[in-house]
Structure 1
């Protein structure tokens, strides 16, 4: 293991800009998602179902816009892509505290379509900033910082919302995220490397870069997103079933801590030492093993073990997608990856929730891990069958009549 690689990549200014501004942009945005629910249920006096509808509308808008936003980054560049967002998003969030439920629903749909594509941006910037041999630690660092933002942003949002106003907390967090985007726009780091060798101009659309390996990565994205979303639900169900809801925060912190450690360990390994398939398999198996948690503390330790594979799986997916897609089309590809991640996250709650309602949280976690394994296996088998079909077709084509 080579942890010195982290010191090396930190010397690249574009990496520091992407990681630090990405964290400052993502953390408040994660907080916005939590505070939005508190605002709908609290200040607006609506039901949790209504809050769920608003969150679903926002999520669908982000998923629909993600590939287009990514393609605009490829074709128009960072500044021209973000400019409409930097103008319109502040208006929407400043108005948010004064809006009723239905008006807020419409505004959030528009916000989702114009949301700053933080995940696409930071991945592109990191990949463009470092040479190939340093991509793994750079992507692992981005995943680790994102994990920290995921834990810190909602915590900050809840503290502000409880002690202040949910509406103005929503506005403040959104403006903090947008401020980070403004700073990134002013700096305007390159989205592609200077020594790029591909000749694709980024305007060919999905047909120019979609391939069997890319589809496999997208299926792997669904598998990992399904597993992580199902685990979220399983953690809540398990702590409730054990009459230990006070342990919920502890379990989530240990799970996230395991992910941080796993991400740093993954980034210290040389390229090619651990592939995407073993990581997803490890994530699925350790998630299912969570069903053996017979006490709250045993369950917490098992979730920490499962966390070791979270950030590495996400980083490996990004690394693999960056390898199989032309550099000039990475924005669109990462946008589609975001859409498939949303699909996987949306699939898990109804499926896993149905199992847990009928058979308990233990079987729910087993189904979560097993489904992730099955989805990843389907993608891998499909790729291999496709390659065999191509080879067979080519062999038939070269036979003499």
Structure 2
């Protein structure tokens, strides 16, 4: 814990971490908010799943694309443009009169396409703010904080959407997006760090095994979490506070796991071990949908989430050049966002067909594959024990001057 406190005392770290957390917070809310909002309007989880799928397609395109744009036009210009468009799309979904499902899908696609690339921006900034020995603990701390996005965000959404209004849940996400986005864009560090223009074709960074491993595993991890969230809501119904309480306990387990184990040295089996904890907890959860059983089993599953994310961030950082970091994290972020959307969408269809247990089956499948991938691809997992997790410096030919 002392290492985390020291990090937060480092100039600018607490500010930039808080700003990016607030700016990214809506993306832990919107999948569930859209699911509940469209289901309320069209009375079908399947229709809501189609809107989430369209949103995920936009996010898939946006992640690496807007990240590369930051190396061309600068972070602030790209972040500002995407923030304005994304907030406008959310406003249409929240306030427009009842629209046909295909129209909601188009608006969702635009919202996903304009998702501000805050995650790749901040991951690129971090190595410039701390020394190499502090970078891995910083990723661990950030991963713990990120759990507020993916787990606490749905808790807030559930309470607001079920107890007050689904429209207000989307509006609340818009407020977080705008306020957090302005705070992050105005941060001095965003103006000081210049991302070099990448010389390689878009997508080439996925040829690096560690980046592909982190992208695929992140997709499966967040997809499992999203399916669990939908399953918990379906278990207790729209009007019960129990779903919010269970998801809050889920988040507490993740936060504890991140702070307690996130600083452990990262060996080649690190990601597989952490994903197995997630799978185990979710598999146990499906045995009974009683309140206390779900609370306990999901707390166990949560213990593995933040440490797994910390491993993904660190192995990507240690495997790419600095000019490639933004795009690499763009792909990782895309994987996570698609996982959130498709996990909710698949859970929605399974809920329609098999009630709440169907969502937990989806979560177990995602988590199990998420455990198998790092086992099968363990040779792609760098061993960072005793190694620097900073990006590889960019080099270029230098013209020599002959005497």
TM-score calculated relative to the size of structure 2: 0.76
Matched, 1:101 2:104: no
Distance 2:371 2:9 in 1: 38
In the alignment, what sits opposite 2:12?
14
Decide which of 313, 317, 324 is 1:329's aligned counterpart: 324
Matched, 1:255 2:250: yes
> Is the 1:128–1:191 Cα contact (8 Å) retained in structure 2?
no
Distance 1:364 1:124, change over 3 A: same
Give the Å deviation of 1:21.
1.0
TM-score calculated relative to the size of structure 1: 0.76
Distance 1:375 1:333 in 2: 19
Distance 1:71 1:14, change over 3 A: farther
Matched, 1:314 2:312: no
Distance 1:306 1:145 in 2: 17
Distance 2:379 2:134 in 1: 30
Higher-helix-fraction structure: 1
Deviation per residue, 1:98-145 (Å, 9 max, x gap): 354244443332121111123323333334322222122212222222
Matched, 1:202 2:198: yes
Give the Å deviation of 1:290.
3.9
Distance 1:295 1:159 in 2: 19
Distance 1:187 1:374, change over 3 A: closer
> Is the 1:262–1:310 Cα contact (8 Å) retained in structure 2?
yes
Give the Å deviation of 1:258.
0.7
Give the Å deviation of 1:249.
3.4
Range with greater deviation from structure 2 (257-266 or 54-63) = 54-63
> Is the 2:272–2:372 Cα contact (8 Å) retained in structure 1?
no
Give the Å deviation of 1:212.
2.9
In the alignment, what sits opposite 1:189?
189
* 1:272-311 alignment, distance < 5 Å: 275-290=270-285, 296-311=291-306
Range with greater deviation from structure 2 (206-215 or 138-147) = 206-215
In the alignment, what sits opposite 1:142?
142
* 1:1-400 alignment, distance < 5 Å: 3-42=1-40, 44=41, 47-96=44-93, 97-102=95-100, 103-157=103-157, 166-167=166-167, 170-171=170-171, 173-190=173-190, 201-205=197-201, 206-207=203-204, 210-232=207-229, 247-270=242-265, 275-290=270-285, 296-342=291-337, 344-345=339-340, 346=342, 350=346, 353=350, 357=354, 367=365, 369-380=367-378
Distance 1:217 1:40, change over 3 A: closer
Distance 1:13 1:369 in 2: 38
Give the Å deviation of 1:152.
4.2
> Is the 1:291–1:365 Cα contact (8 Å) retained in structure 2?
no
Distance 1:294 1:92, change over 3 A: closer
Unaligned runs of 5+ in 2: 383-403
Distance 1:87 1:260 in 2: 32
> Is the 1:219–1:379 Cα contact (8 Å) retained in structure 2?
no
Unaligned runs of 5+ in 1: 385-401
Larger Rg: 1
Distance 2:227 2:156 in 1: 24
Give the Å deviation of 1:332.
0.7
Distance 2:334 2:43 in 1: 28
Give the Å deviation of 1:28.
3.9
Distance 1:157 1:310, change over 3 A: closer
Q: Provide the secondary structure at the position in 2 that maps to 1:324.
A: coil
How many residues get paired?
A: 373
Q: Provide the secondary structure at the position in 2 that maps to 1:13.
A: coil
Give the Å deviation of 1:372.
2.7
